[in-house]
C-alpha cells in the first residue's frame, strides 16, 4: 500500500484531484488507472477529472496530464486549467502570474488576476469539420438526430470537440435527456461534449452541459468558449458574454467573426481550493 498526497480544487463546481508529479510516480499506476480510482465519488476522493503536474517540459513553463473521471484522456479543460494555474503558482512551480502550459491541445496561456480569478487564453476555435472532428460539410447549423428529436447544432473544437445547440427550451432538461446520446453520435468520431444554450441578451447566455467522459457537470470552460463562439458566429451575441452555468459565472471574450475567425478566445473565472489530504492506494 502506498500513501500519496493530493489537492482537491474546483472551478464553479467542476472539480478535480491534483497530484504533484512525484506523488503520481509513487503510485506506479497509469493516469487512466489513477483517474478511475481517485475520481470515484463513492469509494474514493471523487472528482470530474484528474490533473497531474508535469514539470518536465522543454518549450513551456509547465505542463499537465489531464484525464476524465472515466479514464479517458482529455485534450483540454477550461475549468481545470484555471485550477491548475492557481495551483502551480501557489506551489511555486512558476514564479510569474502569466505563463505557458503544455497540453494535448497545444500551448495554453493562463494569467492570475489581481482579484484571484484566472484569465486563460484558450487559443483559437477550430471550425474546420475534419479537425474538430465532425462528419459534416459545414460546422454551423447542421441537423443532428437524437432519440425522439432532431436538433440544429454547431460543431466547434476548443482543443476538444463540442456540439452546441441553441434553444428556447429548458437547457437543463435537454442536457440530461439528450446529452449522452449526442455524445456518442457517429457524427463525432471522438465523441463530443454537448452544450444546450439559451440566449438571454447579446451579452448573456444560459448554458447546461453534458461533458464527454463525465456526464452532467456544474461548469465547462471549453464548453462556455465554444458556446459563445457559436452564438457570435450565428449573429446572436456581441464579443464579451456573461455565461451562466449551474456552478457559477464565466466571462468569455472573442473578437472573431465569420469572415475573420482566427482570433483567440479568452475565459475568466474563479478557481477554488477545496481541501488537501492523503489517500492509501
Active-site choice (39, 163, 220, 237)? 220
Provide the grid cell at 77.
Answer: 479543460
Active-site choice (77, 83, 214, 237)? 77
- In angstroms, the CA 256 to CA 92 distance is 35
Is the separation of the CB atoms in 196 and 165 below 8 Å? yes
- In angstroms, the CA 265 to CA 140 distance is 18
Annotated active-site residue 77? The verdict is yes
**Closest listed residue to residue 154, CA positions, set 177, 172, 132:** 132
Name the residues annotated as catalytic: 77, 220
Amino acid at each position: 500500500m502506498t500513501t500519496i498526497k493530493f489537492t482537491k480544487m474546483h472551478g464553479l463546481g467542476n472539480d478535480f484531484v491534483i497530484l504533484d508529479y512525484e506523488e503520481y510516480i509513487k503510485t506506479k499506476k497509469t493516469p487512466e488507472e489513477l483517474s478511475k480510482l481517485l475520481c470515484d465519488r463513492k469509494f474514493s476522493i471523487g472528482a470530474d477529472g484528474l490533473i497531474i503536474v508535469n514539470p518536465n517540459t522543454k518549450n513551456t513553463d509547465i505542463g499537465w496530464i489531464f484525464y476524465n473521471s472515466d479514464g479517458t484522456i482529455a485534450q483540454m479543460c477550461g475549468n481545470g486549467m484555471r485550477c491548475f494555474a492557481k495551483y502551480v503558482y501557489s506551489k511555486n512551480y512558476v514564479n510569474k502570474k502569466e505563463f505557458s502550459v503544455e497540453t494535448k491541445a497545444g500551448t495554453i496561456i493562463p494569467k492570475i488576476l489581481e482579484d484571484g480569478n484566472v484569465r486563460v487564453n484558450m487559443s483559437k476555435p477550430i471550425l474546420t469539420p475534419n479537425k474538430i472532428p465532425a462528419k459534416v460539410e459545414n460546422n454551423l447549423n447542421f441537423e443532428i438526430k437524437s432519440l425522439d428529436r432532431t436538433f440544429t447544432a454547431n460543431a466547434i473544437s476548443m482543443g476538444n470537440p463540442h456540439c452546441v445547440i441553441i434553444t428556447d427550451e429548458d437547457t437543463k432538461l435537454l442536457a440530461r435527456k439528450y446529452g449522452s446520446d449526442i455524445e456518442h453520435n457517429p457524427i463525432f468520431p471522438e465523441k463530443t461534449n454537448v452544450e444546450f444554450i439559451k440566449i438571454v441578451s447579446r451579452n448573456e447566455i444560459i448554458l447546461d452541459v453534458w461533458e464527454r467522459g463525465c456526464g452532467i457537470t456544474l461548469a465547462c470552460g471549453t464548453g462556455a468558449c465554444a458556446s459563445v463562439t457559436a452564438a457570435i458566429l450565428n449573429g446572436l451575441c456581441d464579443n464579451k458574454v456573461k455565461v451562466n452555468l449551474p456552478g457559477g459565472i464565466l466571462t468569455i471574450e472573442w473578437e472573431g467573426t465569420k469572415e475573420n475567425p482566427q482570433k483567440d478566445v479568452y475565459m475568466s473565472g474563479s478557481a477554488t481550493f477545496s481541501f488537501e489530504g492523503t489517500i492509501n492506494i
